[in-house]
Chain A
Amino acid sequence: MNMEKTVEMYRKMLEIRLFEEKVFELYGQNLVPGTIHLYAGEEAVAVGVCSNLHKDDYIVSTHRGHGHCIAKGASLNKTMAEILGRKTGYCKGKGGSMHIADFNIGVLGATAVVGAGIPIATGAGLSIKLRRTDQVAVCFFGDGASNQGTFHESLNMAAIWRLPVIFVCENNLYAMGTRQTQVMLTKDIADRASAYGIPGVTIDGNDVLAVSQATEEAVLRARSGDGPTLIECKTYRHKGHSRFDPAAYRPKEEVEDWLRKDPINRLKRHILQEGIISDSGITEIEKEVTRSVDEAVQFAKESAFPTPESALEDVYV
Chain B
Amino acid sequence: MKEITYREALREALLEEMQRDKTVFLLGEDIGQYWEGAFKVTKGLAEKFGVERVRDTPISESAIIGASVGAAITGMRPVAEIMFGDLMTLAMDQIANQAAKIRYMFGGQAKIPLVIRTPFGGGVNIAAHHSQSLEAWFMHIPGLYVVVPSTPYDAKGLLKTAIRDDNPVIFCEHKLLYPIKGLIPDEEFTIAFGSADVKREGTDVTIVATMFMVHEALKAAETLGKENLSVEVVDPRTLVPLDKKAILRSVKKTGHLVIVTEDCRTAGVGAEIAAIVAEEAIDYLDAPVIRVAEPDTPIPFSPTLEKFVIPNEEKIIKAIKRIV
Contacts and interface: CB of A to CB of B under 8 A. Distances in A.
A122 B67 contact: yes
Contacts of B23: 130-131
A108 interface: yes
Given A111-B98, A157-B60, A123 B69 contact: yes
Given A150-B63, A150-B66, A157-B63, A116 B94 contact: yes
A300 B163 CA distance: 39
B69 A150 contact: no
Looking at B57, B65, B104, B110, the one whose CB has the most chain A CB atoms below 10 A away is B104
Interface in B50-105: 52-53, 57-58, 60, 62-63, 65-76, 78, 93-94, 97-98, 102-105
Contacts of B165: 317
A149 B110 contact: no
B304 interface: no
B107 interface: yes
Contacts of A156: 58, 60, 63
Nearest to A135: B74
Interface stretch (A26-34, A84-92, A181-189): A84-92
A315 interface: yes
Looking at B53, B67, B94, B165, the one whose CB has the most chain A CB atoms below 10 A away is B67
B70 A122 contact: yes
Interface string A76-102: 000000000000011111110001011
A119 B62 contact: yes
Given A108-B74, A113-B97, A315-B103, A120 B60 contact: no
B70 A121 contact: yes
B94 A89 contact: no
B28 interface: no
Contact of B107 (A94, A121, A150, A153): A94
A316 B167 contact: yes
Contacts, number: 147
A302 B52 CA distance: 50
A126 interface: yes
Contacts of A111: 97-98
A157 B143 CA distance: 27
Interface string B258-279: 0000000000000000000000
Given A111-B98, A125-B70, A128-B74, A313 B108 contact: yes
Contact of A91 (B69, B106, B167): B106
A120 B78 CA distance: 13
A5 to B, nearest CB: 27
Nearest to B108: A314
Contacts of A317: 103, 111, 165-167
A95 B103 CA distance: 10
B178 interface: no
A153 B61 CA distance: 8
Given A95-B105, A153-B63, A317-B167, A120 B70 contact: yes
Given A125-B70, A126-B70, A316-B167, A150 B109 contact: no
A137 B98 CA distance: 18
Contacts of A108: 70, 73-74, 110
A127 B76 CA distance: 6
B143 A315 contact: yes
Contacts of A120: 66-67, 69-70, 73, 94, 98
B106 A99 contact: yes
A249 interface: no
Contacts of B25: 130
B120 to A, nearest CB: 23
A120 B106 CA distance: 15
A137 B70 contact: yes
Nearest to B168: A316
A94 B60 contact: no
A233 interface: no
B93 A116 contact: yes
Q: Which 7 A-B pairs have the closest CB atoms?
A: A123-B70, A119-B66, A91-B107, A123-B67, A153-B63, A153-B60, A314-B108
Given A91-B109, A119-B62, A123-B70, 11 more contacts: A60-B70, A90-B107, A91-B105, A122-B67, A123-B71, A126-B76, A127-B74, A127-B76, A130-B23, A156-B63, A317-B167
17 contacts: A93-B107, A95-B106, A101-B107, A103-B106, A111-B97, A111-B98, A113-B98, A120-B69, A120-B73, A122-B66, A123-B66, A130-B52, A137-B70, A149-B62, A153-B63, A315-B104, A316-B167
Interface of B: 23, 25, 52-53, 57-58, 60, 62-63, 65-76, 78, 93-94, 97-98, 102-111, 142-143, 145, 165-167
